[in-house]
């Protein structure tokens, strides 16, 4: 089992919400991936849409507050982008290379995850079986990211690391967790 804690950093472009933290942990046991995000701090300034009664696959979730992660197979250009909205809506995209060949990943028809609204924060918990897209013996590289939209419409981009001159979650140099 491989368990790693993380703390996301905002992209330093001046559009920051003060007093926010995004932390969590990620575990891979066999081919089961468990990922937990914790958003804490002054959430009164964060635009968080209410939970949906019927969560569904939805495009452009990154336009609002959205928890994301990217999985790539080591020594391969192919990777996946996972989008998880606090509403419960989701989407998964497959890429052939850096921002190339984007397609909706059809291996998943549903993608249940748990969003817990707490008095001092928000927790997003995901448990997924990777067998549908990645073989057990493959080493995966992961980038964990989040888009935070404030109630005044400002957007900040959070990641394990920012390798580009602009916030760009797709850069493979940012896939720094290896499990």
Number of compact structural domains in the chain: 1
**pTM for this entry:** 0.95
Whether residue 170 contacts residue 69, with contact meaning beta carbons closer than 8 Å, is answered with no
Structure confidence at residue 16 (pLDDT): 65
Predicted confidence (pLDDT) per residue in 26-65, tens digit: 999 999 999 999 999 989 999 999 999 999 999 999 999 9
Predicted confidence (pLDDT) per residue in 144-165, tens digit: 999 999 999 999 999 999 998 9
Containing domain of residue 135, as a range? 2-178
Give the CATH number of the domain where residue 119 resides. Answer: 2.60.40.1190
**Hey, how many other C-beta atoms are within 10 angstroms of the C-beta on 77?**
13
Structure confidence at residue 56 (pLDDT): 96
Q: What is the DSSP string of 152-175?
A: TS-EEEEES---SSS--TT-GGG-
């Amino acid at each position: 089992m491989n368990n790693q804690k993380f703390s996301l950093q905002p992209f330093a472009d001046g559009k920051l919400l003060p007093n926010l933290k995004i932390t969590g942990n990620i575990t891979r046991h066999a081919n089961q991936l468990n990922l937990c995000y914790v958003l804490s701090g002054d959430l009164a300034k964060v635009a968080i849409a209410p939970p949906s009664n019927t969560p569904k696959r939805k495009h452009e979730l990154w336009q609002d507050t959205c928890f994301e992660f990217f999985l790539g197979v080591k020594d391969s250009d192919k990777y996946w982008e996972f989008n998880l909205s606090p509403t419960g809506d989701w989407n998964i995209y497959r890429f052939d290379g850096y921002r190339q060949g984007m397609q909706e990943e059809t291996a998943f028809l549903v993608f249940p995850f748990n969003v817990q609204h707490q008095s001092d924060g928000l927790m997003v918990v995901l448990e997924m079986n990777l067998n549908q897209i990645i073989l057990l013996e493959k080493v995966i590289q992961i980038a964990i990211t989040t888009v935070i939209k404030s109630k005044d419409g400002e957007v900040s981009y959070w990641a394990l690391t920012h390798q580009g001159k602009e916030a760009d979650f797709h850069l493979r140099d940012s896939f720094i967790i290896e499990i």
